[in-house]
Amino acid sequence: MAEFYITRKDWDKVINYAKIAVKEFSTEIGGMMVMHKDEDGDYVLSDPVILKQEVSGSNCVLDKVALCLYYGTMNKKHKKKGANRYVWWHSHANMSAFWSPTDVKTIEGCETADFSVSLVVNVRQEYKLRVQYFHPIVIDEDVKINFIGDDKVLPVKMTEEVKALCSKPTTSVVTYGKNSKQSNMFNDYGYDDTYYYGVHGYTSRPFKGEVEKTDPAKCTWQKVCVYVDSLNTKYCSGEIKWADWKKAVKTTNKELKKNKLEWRIEIPTNENMMDSFVYTAQPEEFVTIVGEAS
């Protein structure tokens, strides 16, 4: 089987993109690179870039227009090297380098005439390079990367590039008061005098005036899902630990029960189960109605 190579300079560029995304946004980040076959029949990955994208703690979505422009630009730039192959790469921020169900779905959804290559990394330089074969049979294999050359110092302008091309989803905004309280939905999301929230697409105003803060009965399934989404994003980015997530959810479930509300947030059995679920699950998959929980 052919081997796969990348220069230390290009590798360091990918890892630095991952580190900058964590530092600036506490999120994943993704991009593309090209791959060419050398004289020995091996493949060399090169020229990693990032594109305009929406980033979160558990996902990164490349802009479709930017991706189309990228293909055209790279075809022109590398045409002397022969036909381009493209490698999709993305980071898992502080988490392990592994293929999530969403990653696998993305890879298998981009079928080629023979095979594709994808890369996932984290800030600790752990990685997986996946060769996905489509013909004559569908099969995948994680392979080794061979590094060429020494580490290089990369320009500071990379930080500005990440800031310019990446944006976080505008799903919720939380504003905290001066007093620190135990985290739960009722004090984080508008049910007391020091916390309020606004949800882009639903209301652009603070919680006060939209729904009476002192009436938990007006807590809706939608608001519980917003809370879960915020909590999961913090967990995926490493901002909070498993114990913190679990403690916040237990406190919120007690408040939901206390106020005779039907919603509950399900807690995975352990941290490993949480990690296998949180990166691909939608917030509403954590929310159940009393009597429906398994």
286 is written with which tokens?
Answer: 């954590």
pLDDT of residue 280: 65
Domain end, chosen from 167, 191, 214, is at: 167
31, 228, 252, 285 from 61: Cα distances, Å: 9, 21, 31, 21
Same domain, 136 and 40: yes
197 is written with which tokens?
Answer: 């929230």
Domain end, chosen from 133, 167, 201, is at: 167
CATH at residue 140: 3.40.140.10
CA angle 12–15–21, rounded 5-degree value:
135
User: Domain for residue 199, yes or no?
Assistant: yes
Same domain, 159 and 215: no
Same domain, 177 and 103: no
Same domain, 120 and 206: no
Which runs of E-coded beta strand occur in 134-175?
Answer: 139-143, 145-148, 166-167, 173-175
Amino acid letter for position 187 = N
User: Domain for residue 196, yes or no?
Assistant: yes
Domain end, chosen from 116, 150, 167, is at: 167
Same domain, 136 and 27: yes
Same domain, 94 and 191: no
Exposure string over 266-287, b if 16+ CB within 10 A, otherwise e: eebeeeeebbebbbebebeebb
Q: Which of 154, 41, 17 shows the shortest CA–CA distance to 89?
A: 17
pLDDT of residue 170: 57
Asked if residue 134 lies in contact with residue 115, where contact means CB atoms within 8 angstroms, the answer is: yes
pLDDT of residue 273: 85
Same domain, 70 and 194: no
As for how many domains the chain has, the answer is 2
Beta bridge partners of 8: none
67 is written with which tokens?
Answer: 């991706």
170, 173, 216, 263, 286 from 185: Cα distances, Å: 19, 13, 11, 12, 14
Amino acid letter for position 130 = R
Same domain, 18 and 137: yes
pLDDT of residue 208: 30
Same domain, 162 and 240: no
User: Domain for residue 262, yes or no?
Assistant: yes
- Chain centroid to Cα 90, Å, comes to 9
Close Cβ partners of 69 (under 8 Å, ≥ 6 residues apart): none
What is the residue range of 148's domain? 4-167
User: Domain for residue 33, yes or no?
Assistant: yes
Same domain, 52 and 159: yes
User: Domain for residue 198, yes or no?
Assistant: yes
Same domain, 178 and 134: no
User: Domain for residue 294, yes or no?
Assistant: no
Whole-angstrom distance, CA of residue 85 vs CA of residue 137:
20
Pairing mode of beta strands 53-55, 166-167: parallel
Per-residue pLDDT of the chain (294 residues; tens, 9 = 90+): 799 999 999 999 999 999 999 999 989 999 999 999 999 999 999 999 999 999 987 788 999 999 999 998 998 888 887 778 999 999 998 888 989 888 898 999 989 999 999 999 999 999 999 999 999 899 999 999 999 987 666 667 888 999 999 998 754 333 333 343 444 444 443 333 222 222 222 222 222 323 333 355 556 677 788 788 878 878 887 778 899 999 999 998 898 888 888 888 999 988 888 887 777 677 778 888 875 543
Same domain, 188 and 130: no
